[in-house]
Amino acid sequence: MLARALSAQMSPNLTVAPIPTVKAAKGSATVVTVKASLPAGYHANSNKPTETYLIPLTMKWTAGPLQMDSVTYPQPKMERFPFQKPSDKPLSVVTGEFSIATRFKVPADAPAGPADETGTLRYQACDNKACYPPKNVPVNVTVNVQ
């Protein structure tokens, strides 16, 4: 039991709030907003990290009746951490609660009625001392095409 508790502390989880059903009219556009949260004391690299070796925050949609148009990520913060050398660049990170908005096109020939849109939010959480293995969080939203 102690090992499980330590493992939970060492591997921070980003949580995603349930997404309300989205109503979408055929031939139009709609936005799906994913609200996510990291525990206090942790950060994740932004979608445009300052170093090529850092793992970016990504939102990928893989299935559903809609066509992904664009993804708007949260405004990152430029921060320095104790583990960095004085010559290192500040890191582009997100912390706490943040939102990722995806704009979708609704095809004119999309089938009417409810359907699931599924995707994956990928992130790597870090604290002031270490980074943890990247994780994928499944994201699902019901879209009611009208």
What is the model's pLDDT at position 3? 43
Tell me the CATH number of domain 12-145, given options 2.60.40.10, 3.40.109.10, 2.60.120.10, 3.40.50.2300.
2.60.40.10
Which residue ranges make up each domain of the chain? 12-145
* pLDDT value, residue 102: 97
Q: Tell me the pLDDT of the chain averaged across its residues.
A: 90
**pLDDT at position 11, please?**
67
**6/9 Cα distance (integer angstroms):** 5
Nearest-angstrom CA–CA distance, 12 and 15: 10
pLDDT in tens, 81-107: 877 778 888 989 999 999 999 999 999
- How much is the pLDDT for 6? 44
Q: Read off the amino acid at residue 140.
A: N
Note the pLDDT of residue 8: 45
Answer for the pair 97, 75: CB distance below 8 angstroms, yes or no.
no
**Which value, to the nearest 10 degrees, does the dihedral of the CA atoms of residues 5, 92, 31, 59 take?**
-60
**Could you give the CA distance from residue 51 to residue 81 in angstroms, rounded to a whole number?**
14
Which positions of the chain have pLDDT values less than 50?
1-8
